[in-house]
Amino acid sequence: MAQTTPNHTQTVHGWAAHDPSGTIAPYTFKRRENGVNDVTIKILYCGICHTDLHYVKNEWRGISIMYPIVPGHEIVGTVTKVGSNVAGFKVGDRAGVGGLAASCLDCQHCRDGQENYCDQVRFVFNGIFWDGSITYGGFSEFIVSDHRYVVHVPENLPMDAAAPLLCAGITVFTPLKDHDLLECKGKRIGVVGLGGLGHIAVKFGKAFGHHVSVISTSASKEKEAKERLGVDDFILSNNVEQMQSKRKSLDFIVDTVSAEHSLGPILELLKVKGTLVVVGASDKPMELPSFPLIFGKRAVKGSIVGGMKELQEMMDLCGQHNITCDVEVVRTDEINHALRRLADNDVKYRFVIDIAGSSSSKG
């Protein structure tokens, strides 16, 4: 049943999962009026991240899903309203919203621009906002967002191909930045899993002057990865000889895999003192053998999206380097088909919903 919160008077058409069946259906709900700190954004496009699918299917134990959920956290569109306290945006601006809806803005993490690690962080869907309302995401016609969680989308980037930067992009950008891989060139970087996150990690790695290896389960992706994305080396993770021949060859690896897998063979690819950053989010425990860690003095870390300052920095860098995502644009009546194909690992490399272009079909 739709929630009723005072001041939530604007009717929005969207698309929601009502149960864990993995499908969504049209859903009408309410959003708050545009407040003094808010901007309202008419949503043009919204990416479909594997996180949306994890939520829709209730795949993460420990996170309680408040059905009906309106997924979508790779949101781009045009600003239509601006609150009186908002200086950085005006009506007509190209704007983007990622995973964050709110944070306390007062703790050390928030002050350091790491709102994503704030204890009180509120996510853009399936979260509880300050006024007690449930947050609804970007599979919808418009969103009202606190301006501190909105970024500008560079003029030269096509909106559809920019949308996945809001989550997939920042999630792989932050680990590269944290490990000084934006400045120093010529490192040997590995990307595990060539999906939505993985293909952008490849693009960043190449744009910032590194040798990029993909570690994949899908032999069918090799040709295009090399020819289209410029991948330098393609390693099949299920081919023991290939994996052994690349032992101790990489400085840094980002693991974007959405499913359970062992970290041992991946760690073996790292040089001594190399680092593996896990961003893929299977909720099943991953096998982490001690020998590849201790014999190689290797480190394993995790990372979740990025802070708002980093997000704008990344958008601007993408504008400068003309980095966009390879997307397959779908209509709203094709979302269920896209979700099924995403579950089947059948997308190169990101589905993006044309929200505004198909809003008349509501289906």
Are 231 and 202 contacting, i.e. CB atoms less than 8 angstroms apart? yes
Options 101, 162, 167, 335; binder of ligand NAP; rule CB under 6 A: 167
DSSP assignment, residue 289? -
What interhelical angle do 168-178 and 308-321 show, nearest 10?
A: 100
Total of chain residues touching ligand NAP, rule CB under 6 A: 30
Integer Cα distance of 275 and 96 in angstroms: 31
Residues 330-359 that bind ligand NAP (CB under 6 A): 342, 345
Integer Cα distance of 344 and 307 in angstroms: 31
Q: Find the radius of gyration of the CA atoms of the chain.
A: 20
Under the binding rule (CB under 6 A), the answer on residue 162 touching ligand NAP is: no
What interhelical angle do 168-178 and 196-207 show, nearest 10?
A: 40
Question: Residues 202-221 vs ligand NAP: string with x where CB under 6 A?
Answer: --------------xxx--x
Options 40, 126, 140, 171; binder of ligand NAP; rule CB under 6 A: 171
Q: Which residue is nearest to ligand NAP (CB)?
A: 195
Cα distances from 95 to residues 35, 77, 176, 354, 358, in angstroms, run 17, 6, 24, 16, 20
Rounded to a whole number of angstroms, the minimum distance from the CB of residue 149 to ligand NAP is 15
Under the binding rule (CB under 6 A), the answer on residue 305 touching ligand NAP is: yes
Element (H, E) at 316: helix 308-321
Options 24, 261, 270, 324; binder of ligand NAP; rule CB under 6 A: 261
User: How far is C-alpha 142 from the chain's CA centre?
Assistant: 19
The residues, any chain, with a CB within 8 Å of residue 121's CB and separated by 6 or more, are 100, 102, 103, 115
Tell me which stretch binds ligand NAP (CB under 6 A): 125-133, 138-146, 253-261, 284-292.
253-261
Under the binding rule (CB under 6 A), the answer on residue 40 touching ligand NAP is: no
Strands 211-216 and 188-192: parallel
Rounded to a whole number of angstroms, the minimum distance from the CB of residue 139 to ligand NAP is 15
Tell me which stretch binds ligand NAP (CB under 6 A): 2-10, 13-21, 285-293, 297-305.
297-305
Options 110, 279, 317, 355; binder of ligand NAP; rule CB under 6 A: 279
Tell me which stretch binds ligand NAP (CB under 6 A): 149-157, 203-211, 254-262, 315-323.
254-262
Are 232 and 211 contacting, i.e. CB atoms less than 8 angstroms apart? yes
Tell me which stretch binds ligand NAP (CB under 6 A): 33-41, 49-57, 87-95, 245-253.
49-57
Other CB atoms within 10 A of residue 306 CB: 28
Q: Which is nearer to ligand NAP, 51 or 275 (CB)?
A: 51
Rounded to a whole number of angstroms, the minimum distance from the CB of residue 362 to ligand NAP is 26
Name the site residues for ligand NAP (rule: CB under 6 A): 49-51, 54, 167-168, 171, 193-198, 216-218, 221, 256-259, 261, 279-281, 303-305, 342, 345
